[in-house]
Amino acid sequence: MLKVKEVEAKSLLNRSKIFDYCLNPYTGCQINCTYCYARLFMRRYSGHSEAWGEFVDVKVNAFEVLKKQLDKAKKGTVWISSVCDPYQPLEATYSLTRCCLKELAKRQFPVNIQTKSKLVLRDVDIFQEFETIEVGLTITTDDERVARLFEPRAPSVEERVRALEIIHSSGIPTFAFVGPLLPGNPERLAERLEGKVDKVFIDKMNYVYSVKGFYHQLGLQREMTDRYFREYKARLIYELEKRNMNFEVLF
Ligand code: SF4
């Protein structure tokens, strides 16, 4: 059972190696993907005894803390989020991501959003206030059955693709984060993303050792090998180039 705790955060805007800052309105993520890299360190870091996916700390003072930090911060790109999904189901109740975005838009801090949730559609009105923003949906496979196995609590692939389509047609730059590459069909995936994204990022499963047992259980040993990732990557690149789609490979 999910344990939700309201907490007071000391800091919201933190330095990041990937963007200038990262912002996590929640500690923990109820979406609970089997391969989540955050599960490898966040439980220990957050002092929780519950399993990853079974706890979420809600940073109820997020807006006040962020405002104070932004008063002193040098302008830079803010990544939302690095170790949680900013649109996990609790966001529908707490609206922390929305409040933080409003403040960031007021001050025109560039933002990069990454989520698996269609709840992101709620905030299109705020996205439109930004001069610089990118909104991305993580889409790891074209295959709904595979997505349900690895990401059982996430919205369907169809819902994510549809969210990208709506955001893109609202004039907001979008990207698909295709990572970690889960078993699927790269040709069908490229076809589904065409016309809905400005860029595609491709990454492999980086912590295979942590999900090895799960792949074995499903009889998917071949799909966790370097060879599989290389072949999938080559086929996906071919399809994206054929369609003149922008992409970046991260492995
Ligand atoms: S949505 Fe992202 S942060 Fe949440 S469990 Fe899945 S991979 Fe981890």
Residues 89-111 have pLDDT tens digits of: 999 999 999 999 999 999 999 99
Torsions phi, psi for 46 (to 5 deg): -90, -5
Atom of ligand 1 nearest to the CA of 32: 5
**Dihedral of the CA atoms 22, 63, 54, 36 (nearest 10)?**
-10
Atom of ligand 1 nearest to the CA of 154: 1
Residues with beta carbon inside 6 Å of ligand 1?
A: 29, 31-33, 36, 38, 84-85, 116
| C-alpha span between 238 and 81 (Å, rounded) | 30
Mutate to test the pocket of ligand 1, among 2, 27, 32 (most ligand atoms within 8 A of CB): 32
**72 CA from centroid of ligand 1 (Å):** 30
Q: pLDDT for 218-243, tens place per residue? A: 999 999 999 999 999 999 999 999 99
**71 CA from centroid of ligand 1 (Å):** 30
**242 CA from centroid of ligand 1 (Å):** 31
% of the chain surpassing 70 pLDDT: 100
Mutate to test the pocket of ligand 1, among 42, 88, 116 (most ligand atoms within 8 A of CB): 116
Atom of ligand 1 nearest to the CA of 38: 8
What mean pLDDT, rounded, does the chain reach? 96
**2 CA from centroid of ligand 1 (Å):** 15
Strands (DSSP E) found in the chain:
3-7, 13-15, 21-23, 26-27, 55-59, 78-80, 111-115, 133-138, 174-178, 199-202, 247-249
Cβ pair 101, 111 in contact under 8 A? yes
Q: Work out the pLDDT band at 47, boundaries 50, 70, 90.
A: confident
Model confidence pTM above 0.85: yes
- What residue ranges define each of the domains in the chain, with the CATH number in brackets? 74-249 (3.80.30.30)
Does the structure show a pLDDT above 80 at 199? yes
Residue 160 Cα distances to 27, 141, 218, angstroms: 23, 11, 24
| C-alpha span between 172 and 119 (Å, rounded) | 16
**104 CA from centroid of ligand 1 (Å):** 23
What pLDDT sits at residue 211?
Answer: 94
